[in-house]
Amino acid sequence: MSSDLVSVIMPVYNADAWLQRAIDSVLAQRHAHLELIAVDDGSSDRSPYMLDTYAAADARVHVLRQPSNGGVAAARNAGIAAARGDYVSFLDADDWWHPAKLERQLASMRKSGALISYASYWRVAEDSRVLNQVTPPPQVNWQDMLASNFIGNLTGMYARRLGDVPFQRIGHEDYVFWLEQVRRAGQAMRVESPEPLAWYLVRERSLSANKLRAASWQWEIYRSVAKLGMMQSAFCMARYVQHAVIKRRNVRI
């Protein structure tokens, strides 16, 4: 078994309806050498109590508390700053993992030498219906990432030797983070697995469910973050829309 320590960063805000499932899926990983850094972002429900209960029962669980609700980017950055692992991965409090996720991911990264890896995942409705399977390309580079965020944040993991970058407080903060990490690494690789390794809960009332707002965020990323010209931004935007449709309807993107 690999001795690599994996730091799992989990921002938590009023997530008591889903938190147990998410944490249990981390603690049940076959690769047990991990630390779960749960960052409570000013929750007013039972989440703080639940986190304290897990921390008292399992020494791998560490709870950080933000002084106020600062948003998911700030919570993840606090988790990264506290992380001690050789690898860093992320899981939101309403999503969950396959028990073999970290084990297969680490094996795949050692075999390929990749500094960043990601995996296929299921999209699941709030009533537990499986909507579809998302299977990203076997490998992606920065140019590929301009077309779509092929790295589902709940599956992404990077080797710490690549270096940390902060999450920005911006729409599509996951995408901006992985876009920069892939630029620095050169490429990222999909985990070798016969099945998807995570479940993503689709919450229709979430910010990202607003398609027009999401599109405006994407345009701003092309222009202000990636520094693309108008014509290249328009070309990438067309590809982004195409991949967004595919991601919600088909198996492969």
Model confidence pLDDT, tens digit, residues 136-192: 999 999 999 998 889 999 999 999 999 999 999 988 899 999 999 999 999 999 999
For 71-99, how does the pLDDT look when each residue is reduced to its tens digit (9 = 90+)?
A: 999 999 999 999 999 999 999 999 999 99
- Provide the percentage of residues in the chain whose pLDDT is more than 70: 94
Provide mean pLDDT across the span 126-145.
94
Asked if residue 15 has pLDDT above 70, the reply is yes
State whether residue 166 is helix, strand or coil: coil
The residue that leads in pLDDT, 1 or 65, is 65
What region, left, alpha or beta, does residue 42 occupy, with left being phi > 0 and alpha being psi -120 to 50 degrees?
Answer: left
pLDDT of residue 1: 47
- Give phi and psi for 139, each to the nearest 5: -155, 155
Provide mean pLDDT across the span 104-115.
97
pLDDT of residue 253: 47
List the structure tokens of 5: 């320590």
pLDDT of residue 206: 55
Asked if residue 225 has pLDDT above 90, the reply is no
pLDDT of residue 207: 44
For 27-38, how does the pLDDT look when each residue is reduced to its tens digit (9 = 90+)?
A: 999 999 999 999
Tell me the DSSP string of 96-109.
EE-TTHHHHHHHHH
Domain spans in the chain, listed from the N-terminal domain onward? 6-206
Degrees, nearest 5: CA angle 122-124-125:
165
Asked if residue 249 has pLDDT above 70, the reply is no
What is the model's pTM? 0.89
- Provide the percentage of residues in the chain whose pLDDT is more than 90: 75
- Residue 209: band (very low, low, confident or very high) from pLDDT cuts 50, 70, 90: low
The residue that leads in pLDDT, 122 or 229, is 122
Domain 6-206: give its CATH architecture. Answer: Alpha-Beta Complex (3.90)
Alpha-helical runs (H) found in the chain: 19-27, 47-57, 72-82, 101-112, 142-145, 173-185, 211-220, 230-249
